[in-house]
Amino acid sequence: MIISLDDKRLAYEFWSRDPYFDEETHEELRKIAEDEKEINDRFYKDLEFGTGGLRGILGAGTNRMNLYTVRKATQGLANYIIKEGASDKGIAIAYDSRKKSEEFARETALCMAANGIRAYIFPSLRPTPMLSFALRELGCTAGVVITASHNPAEYNGYKVYWEDGAQITAPRDKEIISEVNAITDYTYVKTMSQKEAEEKGLYQVIGPDMDDKYTEALKSLVLFPEVIKRQAENITIVYTPLHGTGNLPVRRILKELGFEKVYVVEEQEKPDGNFPTVSYPNPEDKNAFALALKLAKKVDADLVLATDPDADRLGIYAKDGDGEYKSFSGNMSGMLIMEYLLSGRKRLGRLPENGAVVTTIVSGKMSRKIADAYGVKLIETLTGFKYIGEQIKFFEQDGSYEFLFGYEESYGCLEGTHARDKDAVVAVMALCEAAAYYKDQGISLCEQMEKLFQTYGYYKEELCTVTLKGQEGTAKIQAVMESIRSNIPHTIGERRVHAFRDYAEGVVRNLENGSVTETLLPKSNVLYFELDRDAWCCARPSGTEPKIKFYAGVRGQDEADAGKQLKELMQAVTRFAD
């Protein structure tokens, strides 16, 4: 909801003085009394409860992540759960290492308790995939995890899951949004003390047995435990949790599988919401690996692994034959794990006839070739792992396919169905198992990746983001998208456009014969171009940050050719933002 100029000032005055808001909030807002631009940014709209929940900058104001916007979101979610007649099943809650995460999680639990909904809350920080796992184990109606994933330190967020363990999708997401938006008076929100909630049995701490169950679920997915036993002592691993939640579960799973030579980056081991050693706690960012690579060279590591703050994304480096550390993109690590799992299942006679791999429209296209090679179905969804998780639910409902693997280009993947969201802990496990397997064959992960390129083609992809902050930035992003939509190009750079997909309209326009068909996916503000020579590109606004994202992918004759093609294509694509 966009707020008028007069209303912004009224909202500011209300938050600055009303006794409903605490003194910390009053004091923070008094300090910006003369800064109209800052007041405008904090109050020009309500922090949007989007299709996955909330995400925003921490601070006082309607357009900020704070105690009161979290309570409001929770009250809306509670109202929806009650209307659905599902309040007796309870809700599971987890949180990461970010600033205010523990407080927001506790307030979420107390608001739910005040609405008569039992809250199960982890006693300390946990990875996001463990929330997905726990809510299904507990038989809960819904789940909430307090996290802003890989965003900078000034952000936090609030992600909502439903009983299947996946993030909410249509139509439920829109229905919950309506309930949240219906709350216009913050004082309507219910809460109670923790003592009262505990006495009524509405605030329950999740016990350590949940960690045990999660670990056992992961270990059951191992394909060749005997190979790990042979090679674990020959593999040296450096790992960094980037001040997040991955430290304990990642080290536990590796230790229980037999990987003993695991070195953790000491400076980044402890949880810290300030992320003091990195500017951006994201394993997609090569700068985040600086300390890990330094340690890797010291201990002569084979693998260098990093997980983001809520441990659902995994970034990797691997040592090549010359002793240099090579980075793997999210597509590369996804393909490495995917091919390992499919080939391993085939060798064991456990590759089902109705097996399926699920990915997103902006992920690398090598997956098509690998899926074809192993006779499994490849299904593409919209961007966002919630759509991959949703496919698992559909498979279980209609028995159409057996889920084998899901991945997206942004460093997230899932083996198994213990969780319905990307899981960096299981990704670490699968990758280290693959490393042991290939070591047993006398090759490294870098050599195996090169084999995949030689077999399936030199696919290369890139993501470029343009950050446009504030109200003006939001308007600019919308203008860029509408300009592309209104003036569909027939060429991008030197490549001819075969087809244009507008997922907001739900149509595919064939520019060669003029035909129009349906996308068969939910509507979303995404524009996608199918180009000649097996290339593609895509534009979409970020759902969680003030950015517009441009994706591109090509297939080359070799690595150099693919790199040259991609550079030329991305230069043409990013001109859309000029």
Report the length, in residues, of the chain: 578
Whether the full predicted model's pTM is greater than 0.75, yes or no, is: yes
d(C-alpha 131, C-alpha 143), whole Å = 7
Q: Give residue-wise pLDDT tens across range 43-58.
A: 999 998 887 789 999 9
Q: Is the peptide bond before 541 cis (omega within 30 degrees of 0)?
A: no
Token couple for 263: 């070195």
Of the pLDDT bands very low, low, confident and very high (cuts 50, 70, 90), residue 2 is very low
Distances (CA, A) of 528 to 26, 379, 393, 458: 46, 17, 26, 21
Sequence-ordered alpha helix ranges (H) in 23-125: 23-30, 36-43, 67-83, 101-114
User: Which CATH number describes the domain made up of 458-577?
Assistant: 3.30.310.50
Question: To the nearest whole percent, how much of the chain has pLDDT over 90?
Answer: 92
Q: How far is C-alpha 9 from the chain's CA centre?
A: 36
Judged against a pLDDT cut of 60, whether residue 4 lies above it is answered with no
C-alpha dihedral sign at 570, 319, 129, 180:
negative
Cβ atoms 32, 38 nearer than 8 A:
yes
Judged against a pLDDT cut of 60, whether residue 493 lies above it is answered with yes
Higher-confidence residue of 266 and 51: namely 266
The secondary structure element, H or E, covering residue 170 is none
End-to-end, the C-alpha distance of the chain in Å comes to 28
User: What pLDDT is recorded for position 3?
Assistant: 47
Q: Give residue-wise pLDDT tens across range 189-231.
A: 999 999 999 999 999 999 999 999 999 999 999 999 999 999 9
Considering the chain, what is the average pLDDT of its residues?
Answer: 96
Cβ atoms 538, 576 nearer than 8 A:
no
Judged against a pLDDT cut of 60, whether residue 449 lies above it is answered with yes
Whether the domain at 210-456 and the domain at 458-577 fall into the same CATH topology: no
CA-based nearest residue to 445, from 453, 239, 241: 453
The catalytic site residues sit at: 149
Q: Give residue-wise pLDDT tens across range 270-302.
A: 999 999 999 989 999 999 999 999 999 999 999
Q: Give residue-wise pLDDT tens across range 77-98.
A: 999 999 999 999 999 999 999 9
User: What pLDDT is recorded for position 578?
Assistant: 83
User: What pLDDT is recorded for position 1?
Assistant: 43
User: What pLDDT is recorded for position 202?
Assistant: 98
Helix 128-137 and helix 424-440: axis angle, to 10°? 110
User: What pLDDT is recorded for position 210?
Assistant: 98
* CB-facing half-sphere around the CA of 338: CA atoms within 13 A: 34
Cβ atoms 126, 94 nearer than 8 A:
yes
User: What pLDDT is recorded for position 356?
Assistant: 98
User: Which CATH number describes the domain made up of 210-456?
Assistant: 3.40.120.10
Spatial neighbors of 137 by CB under 8 A, at least 6 apart, are 210, 213
Longest dimension (CA), the chain: 71
Q: Give residue-wise pLDDT tens across range 536-553.
A: 999 999 876 789 999 999
Judged against a pLDDT cut of 60, whether residue 5 lies above it is answered with no
C-alpha dihedral sign at 317, 229, 351, 390:
negative
d(C-alpha 285, C-alpha 287), whole Å = 5
Of the pLDDT bands very low, low, confident and very high (cuts 50, 70, 90), residue 474 is confident
Q: Where in the chain are the domains? A: 46-207, 210-456, 458-577
Domain 46-207 class in CATH: alpha beta
At CA 48, angle to CA 44 and CA 53, rounded to 5? 160
Q: What is the rounded average pLDDT of the residues 369-380?
A: 98
d(C-alpha 166, C-alpha 388), whole Å = 9
Taking the C-alpha atoms of 292, 458, 569 and 522 in order, what is their torsion angle to the nearest 10 degrees? -80
Q: Give residue-wise pLDDT tens across range 385-412.
A: 999 999 999 999 999 999 999 999 999 9
Cβ atoms 368, 360 nearer than 8 A:
no
Spatial neighbors of 248 by CB under 8 A, at least 6 apart, are none
Token couple for 408: 């997206």
